[in-house]
Amino acid sequence: MRKRMLAIALAGLVVVGAAPPASARSARVDLDSVRGWNELALTAVRANRSTDADAARLYAMVNVAMYDAVNGLAGRHGRTPALVPGPGPRGADEQAATVAAAAAGLVALDPARAAGYDARLAADLARLPDAGAAASGAGWGRRVGESVVANRAGDGSTPVESQPAGAGPGVFRAAWSGAQYRNVRPFAVTDPVRFLPGPPPALGSVPYAAAFAEVAVLGNAALPAPDLLDTYQFWSLPAGSSQPPGEWLRIALSVAHDRRLPLAEQVRLTALLTMALADTTVVTVATKYTYRHWRPTTAIREADNDGNPVTAPDPAWTARAGSVGGTPEYVSGHSSYSGAGAAMLAGFFCDDAIPFTHATDSAPGGAARSYPGFAAAAAEAGRSRVYGGQHFEFSNQAGLSLGRGVSVEVLATKLLRRDGGAHFGTCPR
């Protein structure tokens, strides 16, 4: 039914605009399509209370569809495709292709709001001056979006799997769902396993004791520290938010808008970023599943069982975040997404020192924070997990490194010029 309605709308576009005046045909309408349709994707994640893993997958599918739709119309000037090769129809409108590709993805991934996506698509297409080019572009974009959805249908993201609750010193105690993402087919990296970090420090070691002592103070809810709590909350991004991958997508959209990137560069940036974030999920979940490390709350309350002579138990200790944490501790997923996001943006622009101001979905009072560059924001995001008593610092550092590694590979190998060129100048380094 939805396809029939869209076909009627496209046919109506051609009829109504069959012979526009020359001035209308030459006019340029900026739909701000990449940012607008990503805002719809962000809204879908919030409304559905998606997990970080499901959110990252949705963002990647929508942005890969937009990239392949635009890239398929570039002819010999195009780059390598992400999933769907061109060529698309000659003379097709690339903005129409962009919005139709995004709509096809979102309708499949968020069917509860399909009517809204159809209405937004029809409105966007109606704004384009050349109805024939718009219809051609929309048809191509829809095919690309549907092809991306079909390609990812058997990627391993379903059915949902859980790891059972554990027991004993050093082991995460609760059952947790989403473990199937450790085996999900990646979007861009060749072998996610090679990014798997080594184990966390042994419970009896000095590095473990040092990290233990730090989080026992910084993450302790009994020690008032409004600045630490605010930083934790700013980056906490719980269910009902855009999730950590979504915040890095929002940062990218803002920077791209400020720098007035052309459409082809916008879709390339967001496709590279979201593929890296989605693939970071795979490595992060695999790491959590492999090491099954306990959270600071359990570690501190049961320190008399860890075999370390310098870690003192505190049975009443409570994390500043107010909760233990719902997945194994090692590594910090917030940190791995932040490492990937910051590295991708710095690599894409060949510059980390791009100042920006941003308010996350969970920012206390909606107050924005300013950063001198991407790495500074990622560092704060990672440390916020220690301030919240959710993670040890070694898990923060391992997560940041994991994410950076994924983004370096994605930048070096995906969406490159067909003549062998890289991204911008000498990037990626």
261 residue type, one letter: L
H-assigned helices in 262-373: 263-291, 296-301, 333-349
pLDDT at 423 (0 to 100) = 57
Bridge partners of 382? none
Q: Are 156 and 116 in contact (CB under 8 A)?
A: no
What domains are there in the chain, each with its CATH number? 2-151 (1.20.144), 162-413 (1.10.606.20)
As a residue count, the chain comes to: 429
pLDDT at 13 (0 to 100) = 46
Contacts of 143 by beta carbon, 8 Å cutoff, 6+ apart: none
Nearest CA to 246 out of 278, 218, 208 is that of 278
Tokens 């496709």 -> residue? 271
Residue 171, helix vs strand vs coil? strand
Consecutive 10-residue averages of pLDDT for the chain (429 residues): 45 38 55 97 98 98 98 93 96 98 98 98 98 98 98 98 98 98 98 97 98 98 98 98 98 97 97 98 98 98 98 98 98 98 97 97 98 98 98 98 98 87 52
How many other CB atoms are found less than 10 A from the CB of residue 86? 17
What separation in angstroms does the CA of 402 have from each of 131, 164, 275, 334, 397?
47, 25, 15, 11, 9
pLDDT at 418 (0 to 100) = 81
Q: What is the pTM of this model?
A: 0.93
